[in-house]
Amino acid sequence: MNNETGVQTALALLSVGLEKHIATVLAPHLGGDLEWTDILQELDQMKGKAPKLYSRTDVQCQLRAITERLGNLGYPFDAGDPNRMMSTYGNELRIVRNRWAHNDQFTSFEAMRAVDTVFILLTHIGDTEGAGKAAAERAALVLGLIEQSPAEKTPDEQDGPESTEPEDLPDEAPDMPGEPVRKFARRRTEFEPWDVVVTGSVETLDNLPKKVAKESVRATIEEIVDSEGPIHRDRLTKLVGYTYGLGKVHEARAKKILSQINASACLVDKDHFVWAGDTDPAAWKIHRRSPIGTTRKFLEISPREIANAAVDILRNGTLTEEDLRRRTLAVFGRKKSTQALTTHFGKGLSSAIQSGKIQPGTQPATFEIIS
């Protein structure tokens, strides 16, 4: 058995175990007429993602369900678990699944780690039969490693301003006429930083642009963007470096990572923010409040997200530009403004105006929502 087959088998075992577990955990929230995949569909509509098929047996959908905030349900699979095992190990397996789906090659170490992680999750949810089969898969991989030559070969290919607790805004304003009714998704949510899990070594970055290294790094990029996007390319570069064991990402390494960002399936806009490849930025409707202590700087927040926050604030009434800027900064945990923050807010305001969502009010220097 080769490494890729071992990973494929482990993901299939995981899918069987998660299907029942997810259905059990989410059943109390769904009633009798909804599938749990309807939650993902609703969240994706808010994010401007292209329509797709959602299946309860698709391990990609399952891993999203256990790792992402499910709208107003929060993180039901981590409830009562301060270590957040489901989302932590689930995020690691999202990268594995992405690489497997792109027909990437896995080293013996990577394959065994993936199978180990599947074993841990299946054990955690009480699927003893699946966990036993995962243990057998790992034993087969170990046997294959012993039997192969010592040298495993792989193919080559040539600061921030003062931060404070976000302002408590009124309850989310009602939807505008014509907007679809949503049960789970919300325009306003919390920013959830990517949980950095070291899944590779610095050697992978050193081996760029070799084929195996590119495959690994691009899979990591796409999963981070799917979690945090839109994300500024500088922040993304750092997070990728951390995932491969770096404490600090120097310029030479940053350039290598940046080249993989540009070559990935992601979209990079004119302001250097990176979006998931299946997302339409113009249809992205949410904004994410920044809790105190969040490492995301205001300048690392997309003008589109800033525009969405401003629009949501104006749903409660007309404001002067100064008040709108103050309240928008407060949403993202900023108490004081600087010239740089004011300029960046201006990009968000321009985005909201150009998209036809807000307009100057009847009074000088005010803005109002376009109903």
Per-residue model confidence (pLDDT) at position 161: 43
Q: How far is CA 161 from CA 169, 333, 336, in A?
A: 21, 10, 7
Placement of tokens 């996007």 in the chain: 229
Maximum Cα–Cα distance across the chain: 79
d(CA 310, CA 352): 8
Query: What does the DSSP assignment read for 287-325?
Result: EEE--TT----GGGS-HHHHHHHHHHHHTT--EEHHHHH
pLDDT at residue 343, rounded to an integer: 96
Going from the first residue of the chain to its last (371 residues), give the mean pLDDT of each consecutive group of 10, the final group possibly shorter: 89 96 94 89 90 91 95 93 92 93 87 92 95 88 58 38 53 55 78 82 91 92 94 95 89 94 95 95 91 82 96 92 94 90 96 92 86 71
pLDDT in tens, 219-235: 999 999 999 999 999 99
pLDDT at residue 181 in the model: 58
Nearest Cα neighbor of 117 from 94, 91, 89, 149 is: 89
Closest listed residue to residue 242, CA positions, set 222, 227, 220: 220
**pLDDT, tens only, 96-137:** 999 999 888 888 888 888 999 999 999 999 999 999 999 888
DSSP label of 64 = H
* Burial annotation 217-256 (CB, 10 A radius, 16+ → b, else e): bbbbbbbbbbbbbbbbbebbbbbbbbbbebeebeeebbeb
359: amino acid identity, one letter: Q
Q: Is 17 exposed, middle or buried (0-12, 13-18, 19+ CB in 10 A)?
A: buried
Q: Is 194 helix (H, G, I), strand (E, B) or coil?
A: coil
Residues 6+ apart with CB under 8 A from 195: 84, 87, 88, 91
Rg, C-alpha atoms of the chain: 22
Number of Cβ within 10 Å of residue 7's Cβ equals: 26
